[in-house]
Amino acid sequence: MTETINNLDLAGVEVIKEHFSLTPLQVQQFTLLGDLYRDWNAKINVISRKDIDNLYPHHIIHSLAIAKVLNFEQGTTLLDVGTGGGFPGIPLAILFPECQFTLIDSIGKKIKVASEIAKAIGLTNVTCIQERAEMEKGKFDFVISRAVMPLGDLVKLIRKNISCKHQNAMPNGLMVLKGGNLDGEIQPFRKYVELTDISTIFAGEWYKEKSVVYLPL
């Protein structure tokens, strides 16, 4: 079973290498995630145990879809709301070592997993905090998240956290990974919101009807 899973890990890392130019350190960090998440997930359930074999396509690579929408500039600050075990923050922090990531979640045991994994792979650009989004007072270029709550509710919580100083090719705002029919959710923001179909980025049936939702704020 371990050999099969390791092969799945290697296949996942190969997909990442096909889409992004990685340093040897980044390849090593992405490769280490497989064993680390399996080990921690056996102790603290942050990923459905039925889905742990799909760690790379369903969680790591999915998180990296945000990087296909915007190549963040050096010094960009990002807040990952409801990060759980570290998605999308940790994969993006590996890809953008010159950017600063703050990962928050209200559940202490989940943020512990994210913190320990970031430490284990040597990420120095990640801060993990147990807190609710409404308590976070910092200013960031972008807020990122993975289907943590309806878009309108998330906007109300995080609008206060968006910095007015822009340094990227796209204005500061919110980038969220979402699935399914989003017509109702994006309706209030239809003049500004941009959707990127992830199935046009990564191959695989699972990515159909999954999107990166970008909303400038």
Closest CA to 65 of 164, 175, 209, 212: 212
Tell if the pTM clears 0.75, that is, is over it. yes
User: Has residue 202 got a pLDDT over 60?
Assistant: yes
Question: What is the Cα–Cα distance from 22 to 49, expressed in whole angstroms?
Answer: 29
Specify the residue for token string 């998180």: 63
Domain boundary assignment for the chain: 2-216
Average of per-residue pLDDT across 16-44: 96
According to the CATH classification, is domain 2-216 in 3.40.50.150? yes
Model confidence pLDDT, tens digit, residues 79-123: 999 999 999 999 999 999 999 999 999 999 999 999 999 999 999
Average of per-residue pLDDT across 36-52: 92
Closest CA to 75 of 40, 99, 51, 50: 99
Closest CA to 145 of 187, 102, 107: 102
